[in-house]
Amino acid sequence: MAVVEIHAVSQTFGEGELAVQALKPASLAIAAGELVALLGPSGSGKSTLLLAISLIQPPTRGRIVIAGQTLYDDGPTAIDVRAFRRRHIGFVFQQHNLIPFLTAQENVALMLQINGVSRREARRRALDLLGYLEIAHRADALPARLSGGEQQRVAIGRALANEPALILADEPTAALDTERGSKVMAMLRKIARERRSAVIAVTHDHRMIEGFDTVYHLDDGRLGQAERRAAANPAAASP
């Protein structure tokens, strides 16, 4: 079963003569453990697509199914989207958005506490996750004391905290140099392979998509066909 399916999802901003179709009807399906890159020039609709999939900015039309739940069907469904998102979708943004007065560990733990995990258990699991992302040694540091790459790995830890089926990353490497960016992408790859999350990562940078299973191009709001990349991850080809 696909983790995410979207059918004819489109987004129009404005009305009448001023209407802009930022996303033309787009369809795709992504399997557990599949690592997907979304490429396209500035203004082509990449962020619009991620925001639509996560219903942070619901689309104008279309159907969105995540983990078997229909979240949107030409309009809202009965699902409590905010609660669903907290449990099932993790986000990584271009800017890390970490809370400046909480340590790395506390930033990750907070996401667990929001979902009802006790403080003690949340702190323990947060430290485990930071270890998994190879930054446990920076657990007590405030975000301002971390390098850009470290901040982004903490942000990935936060996105992973609730073991979401789907991780959406919008240009997670844009603020990083190539080496740090590659490391962040390697972490996303590890998450898809080992934790079987579906991952969609937006990037401008072709060098960042090494080892990805599937590549989509967006051009002026039009989503191209999936390009399956050879032998990256055989499991992803058969949902």
Ligand X SMILES: Nc1ncnc2c1ncn2[C@@H]1O[C@H](COP(=O)(O)OP(=O)(O)OP(=O)(O)O)[C@@H](O)[C@H]1O
Site of interaction with ligand X (CB under 6 A): 13, 20, 22, 40, 42-48
43 binding partner (options ligand X, Mg ion, none; Cβ < 5 to 8 Å by kind): ligand X
Q: Record the tokens describing residue 46, joined without a space.
A: 């990449």
Place of tokens 């990935």: 156
Cα–Cα distance measured from residue 12 to residue 24, given in angstroms and rounded to the nearest whole number = 8
Q: Which residue, 20 or 78, is less far from ligand X as judged by CB? A: 20
Comparing C-alpha atoms, which of 226, 222, 237 is closest to residue 49? 222
Rounded least distance, CB 200 to Mg ion, Å: 13
47 touches Mg ion by CB under 5 A: yes
Half-sphere exposure of 173 (CA within 13 A, CB side): 22
54 binding partner (options Mg ion, ligand X, none; Cβ < 5 to 8 Å by kind): none
Q: Which residue, 48 or 107, is less far from ligand X as judged by CB? A: 48
Query: Which stretch, 27-35, 41-49, 133-141, 151-159, contacts Mg ion (CB under 5 A)?
Result: 41-49
Burial 86-108 (b: 16+ CB within 10 A, else e): eebbbbbbbebebeeeebbbbbb
Q: Record the tokens describing residue 12, joined without a space.
A: 């129009």
Q: Which residue, 47 or 105, is less far from ligand X as judged by CB? A: 47
Contact by Cβ (8 Å): 58, 76? yes
Rounded least distance, CB 7 to ligand X, Å: 19
Rounded least distance, CB 43 to ligand X, Å: 4
Q: Which residue, 47 or 162, is less far from Mg ion as judged by CB? A: 47
Which residues of the shown chain bind Mg ion in the complex (CB under 5 A)? 47
